[in-house]
A = this chain, B = another copy of it.
Amino acid sequence: MLGSQTEDVALNTTSLLRHINARRCLRLLQNGRQLSRADMARQLGLTRATTGNAMRVLLDAGLVVESAEMSPESRKGRPGVGVSLNPSGAYFVGVDVGTRSLTGVLLDLQMNVVSRIVEPTGPRYRDAGHIAARLLSLIERLLNENPALQEKVEGIGISVPGLVGRDGSVVHAPFLEWRNYPLQSELTARSPADWSVMVCNDAFAFANAELAASATAKAGSMLVVLLAEGIGGAIIDDGRVVMGGHGYSGEIGHTIVSAAGRVDTFEMLAGAKLFTRLFEEGQPVADGVQMLLANVGDKAVDAVLDAWVSGLSAGLVNAIHLLDPGRIVLGGPLAGLYPKLSRRIQADIKRRLLAGFAMPEIRVAQFGADGAAIGAAATIRDTLFALPDLETNTL
């Protein structure tokens, strides 16, 4: 809980300035960047003295470290001392409650995965107390591997496949057969330390991982589509996740799409259900994808892939017209099909797109099965880098 010292800021006094400057400095160091105090001062329009003060606070908090050697800048004068994020300055737990497995990760400040546990989900739990206990037990095992850093854990993020309200309660998770599960408040109550707890939708979590890891801090506008048995989605605009009125946005899988003469939900036309005839019963989707890729050329396979291409394109085009994402990121097991079919998909999308509309960059997600867990942990990490929200009135 080192960071929380920096967190409880009065929104009024001059200490707000100090807080803002510290955060702005910290944000410059994201993505592994290393800068001198003078560099930061130039980029932020502050004096060197001010960045120096901010660094003293951040060094004391253990969030940053000085590294003697600085990148060879070939400048004339006295070389600056490099400052960068201290990877072991703070840790964050993320757990993805999947349909088949529970994935827990421990993230450090540099977004590295320090520990990882995957285990089968097991029987569905029917009340909040049980699942909370189960998750806390997983987290305890995750931390026991490195007991030294337990003090530095900032909080836990949980991702769930289903509708999650703004307060972190699971409204409806069909795969888990949960309804109105106050998971976040339950975990907060049972948390062994005063961790912050955030529960969110798995597509949001996955998108957050992509966002946090994207090289440019402002990845701008992005649509993340998770192609698995169902299809989930998350919308990023101006670097922020679009939540919607109740936090349910992004259910792109249930939009109605028309492609190649068929009219059905996007999920049916481009999700794993499209391949049920080709996949074996109970076969993991990822294995099925490998099988498909190995059998390109087979007539039955090609026919279904054709259907997939047009279903995916048609669904994405609808979303593009509505959202104009600068980038589309495809995740989930079915995304593995994209590279082989990218040319056809892009051509199909371009053909359907309205005149004047911009073709988004499309690419496969950089995270795989752990993405949601990592992103859930990153939601906690984000709070350390967040600038104060000046709009909130009810102090």
Residues of A at the B interface (CB closer than 8 Å) are: 10-12, 14, 16-17, 20-21, 24, 28, 43-46, 50, 162-163, 171-172, 174, 179, 218, 220-222, 233, 235, 237-238, 240, 242-252, 254-258, 263, 314, 317-319, 321-327, 354-358, 360, 387-388, 390-391, 393-395
Residue in B12, B28, B257, B323 whose beta carbon sits within 8 Å of that of A45 in the complex? B12
Contacts known (A390-B20, A391-B387); A244 close to B325, Cβ less than 8 A: yes
What residues on B are CB-neighbors of A221 within 8 Å?
243-245, 249
User: Does more than half of chain A's interface fall in helix, strand or loop, or is it mixed?
Assistant: loop
Assess the A258–B256 pair: CB atoms within 8 A.
Answer: yes
A234 to chain B, nearest CB (A): 11
Residue in B244, B358, B387 whose beta carbon sits within 8 Å of that of A246 in the complex? B358
Assess the A24–B254 pair: CB atoms within 8 A.
Answer: no
Assess the B393–A44 pair: CB atoms within 8 A.
Answer: yes
What residues on B are CB-neighbors of A324 within 8 Å?
243-251
| A242 (CB) vs chain B CBs: closest residue | B237
| A40 (CB) vs chain B CBs: closest residue | B393
- A237-B249, A242-B323, A250-B324 are known; give 8 further A-B pairs, CB within 8 A: A12-B21, A174-B355, A221-B243, A244-B324, A246-B324, A248-B356, A251-B357, A263-B263
Assess the A257–B254 pair: CB atoms within 8 A.
Answer: no
A341 to chain B, nearest CB (A): 21
Residue in B240, B245, B358, B390 whose beta carbon sits within 8 Å of that of A327 in the complex? B245
Instruction: Tell me, in angstroms, the Cα distance from A354 to B102 when the chains sit together.
Output: 26
Assess the B245–A360 pair: CB atoms within 8 A.
Answer: yes
| A47 (CB) vs chain B CBs: closest residue | B12
What residues on B are CB-neighbors of A360 within 8 Å?
245
Instruction: Tell me, in angstroms, the Cα distance from A247 to B358 when the chains sit together.
Output: 10
A168 to chain B, nearest CB (A): 16
| A44 (CB) vs chain B CBs: closest residue | B393
Instruction: Tell me, in angstroms, the Cα distance from A334 to B104 when the chains sit together.
Output: 52
What residues on B are CB-neighbors of A321 within 8 Å?
251-252, 254-255
Write 20 A-B pairs (CB below 8 A) sorted by A numbering. Answer: A12-B45, A43-B394, A44-B395, A45-B395, A163-B356, A171-B356, A172-B356, A222-B245, A237-B237, A245-B324, A245-B325, A245-B326, A245-B327, A251-B354, A251-B357, A252-B322, A255-B322, A256-B258, A256-B317, A256-B318
Contacts known (A243-B238, A390-B20); A14 close to B12, Cβ less than 8 A: no
A148 to chain B, nearest CB (A): 35
The 3 A-B residue pairs with the shortest CB-CB distance, nearest first, are A245-B326, A244-B324, A172-B356
A325 to chain B, nearest CB (A): 6
Assess the A318–B358 pair: CB atoms within 8 A.
Answer: no
Instruction: Tell me, in angstroms, the Cα distance from A360 to B249 when the chains sit together.
Output: 12
Assess the A256–B257 pair: CB atoms within 8 A.
Answer: yes
Residue in B233, B252, B354 whose beta carbon sits within 8 Å of that of A254 in the complex? B354
A61 to chain B, nearest CB (A): 20
What residues on B are CB-neighbors of A244 within 8 Å?
221, 237, 323-326
What residues on B are CB-neighbors of A356 within 8 Å?
162-163, 171-172, 179, 248
Instruction: Tell me, in angstroms, the Cα distance from A263 to B163 when the chains sit together.
Output: 29
Instruction: Tell me, in angstroms, the Cα distance from A354 to B50 when the chains sit together.
Output: 53
